[in-house]
A and B are shown apart, each in its own frame.
Chain A
Amino acid sequence: MNYPNQTGQRRTLGHSFNTNIQPKMDLLKDWLQPLIDAFEAQSGSGDGTFTDSTLVVIRNVSALPEPEAIPISSSKANVKYIADTYKADKQVANSARKAVKSPTVQAMKSMSQDILQSNQPILQAMQQQTSAILGAFKSQGSVAPVDWRPVIQGALTGLAQAFGAQVTFAPTSPIAPSTAPAPPTIPAAPASQTISPENQARLEKLEVLVSQQSESLGTLTNTVTQLSQGQAQLVQTVGQLSQSISQLAQVIAGQAQSPPNSEGSNHSGSNGSGDSTPSSNGSSDSGSSTSSNNSSDPSTSASSSDLPEITQLKEVTPLDSYGDKIVTADLEALITKEGQNQVYMAA
């Protein structure tokens, strides 16, 4: 058998031959080469191109009951053995195909789809929650900051007076908030202002409270940041899990759809026009055109750079006459029992 360009013709090249595990390659080459040459010479395509490669498959016939028979099919025992073997192989292939279509595989496929569908709302909810938290942080960061400087200046002034000292602060402009309109600012406390002991105690309490609030706010910020990071990792993990399940579903679907063998899958032959039916009026047929319905077929959206362009040929000067360039011949032959073409007449 041969497979030129993997899409060309298949033809039996020659009859069987006997060999052992250490064949003489020269003899094999001398026997095969003329057969290949003859095939390639007869396999030119209609557009003028020739067969550029031929793949030859040599089958092992030693297991046949009568491997010495030439041709192999001349032995009824061989024919029966081949038919039985083919039948057994077909049964195995059918079993494999049925296994692929087993309820277990179908159930796994269905389960994978269910998991994928159920993961989608979880993913969406997580993403929405994360976005909401991040948005809240952003909005919190845009709030006008509190100007704590007057309070701190007052506290420090009180402390200095308690120790018999005076401190002065340079006048500062209030911190302008990032958002308009500007809130009324607290006027800076005069550096020389005296604070009563009651106010001093209040200021100390206030300072402690401010410190505690700052610590709490920092702790809360860290916690929320960690929570956000954890959620991001969870989303990533779930996404990877969904991707893995999707790949698993594709593998299962591919196994379920791939035929175990190519027998009977070639529809490129007869259109069955001779066996067609007339218009089946009143019938409704939802049949579709098999593989062509695959809208994701890459061949349908191939770019022009991927496709070979048919190039024009240059004109050549025709010969004056072809009479002495043409030979016609006709050979009449009979196929002998040995499988040879015996030419008995020629013109």
Chain B
Amino acid sequence: MNPGCPIQNSPFLNSLEGSQSYIRADVIALYQIITSHFKELKSRFRINPLNNLSAPGIAFTTWKTQQLPLLHKENLKVYDLSRSSDPLFREAYLGGIVDVYKPHLTGKGYYYDVHSLYPTAMTLPMPVGAPTQVILSPDQFNQDFFGYLIATVRAPENEYIGLLSIRHNGRLICPGGIFTGFFFSEEPHQI
């Protein structure tokens, strides 16, 4: 033991005292964060955040208070599909595929790092309203269809990276060739 060593004298090496100091700082920091967050909310939205239990709950309350009236002004209705069609449309909701590639650049070019795709996507049109089932021909789909669809597609078989993913046997894959899946229309439209 070296009483003069600053590391050994650190209260964090004493488990009980360190823990006490840690959780005290933890609750103070949490208090400051919450009050600051509520202060910011107060300056921008007329809601009472105390009625919510979580940050997503506050976001949903804010949307229903501020954004939904704007949709209603345009005679647009938003339905709660969480207890009816949610399992159906969730089939088209796939996570990102985490694959490790080793990109290389031959000659002159640019590397891009794309981020914030989720908030970017949230600024784009989304399907709303009551779901209506229709049967489409490929031409009708290519014209102006916007929504979710079950489709049989042909993906290039020799691409470097597959772009259209499906869930197969519990796994996400981006196959080449002909396969069937449940997609959001803007995915096959963009590919």
Chain A interfacial positions (CB closer than 8 Å to B) = 7, 44-48, 267-268, 270-293, 295, 297, 299-304, 306-319, 322-323, 325-326, 328-330, 332, 345-347
Contact = CB atoms under 8 A, between A and B. Distances in A.
A271 B167 contact: yes
Q: Identify whether the interface residues of A are mostly helix, strand, loop, or mixed.
A: loop
A134 to B, nearest CB: 37
B27 A48 contact: no
Contact of A285 (B30, B69, B131, B175): B175
A299 B35 CA distance: 43
Contacts of A288: 150, 180-181
B91 A290 contact: yes
B19 A291 contact: no
A69 B83 CA distance: 40
Query: Which among B35, B53, B167 has the highest number of chain A CB atoms within 10 Å?
Result: B53
Contact of A287 (B39, B65, B160, B166): B166
A276 B49 CA distance: 40
Contact of A278 (B87, B162, B179): B162
Q: Identify whether the interface residues of B are mostly helix, strand, loop, or mixed.
A: mixed
B79 A304 contact: yes
B170 A272 contact: yes
Contact of A282 (B39, B46, B158): B158
Contacts of A328: 27-28, 30-31, 34
Contact of A273 (B84, B92, B132, B172): B172
B145 interface: no
Given A276-B171, A287-B169, A271 B130 contact: no
Contacts of B95: 270-273
Contact of B35 (A284, A295, A322): A322
A283 B46 contact: no
Contact of B57 (A48, A271, A273, A309): A48
A276 to B, nearest CB: 4
B42 interface: yes
B13 interface: no
B27 A329 contact: yes
17 contacts: A48-B52, A48-B57, A268-B87, A272-B167, A276-B98, A276-B171, A280-B174, A286-B180, A289-B150, A292-B150, A307-B130, A310-B64, A315-B65, A316-B48, A318-B46, A330-B23, A345-B23
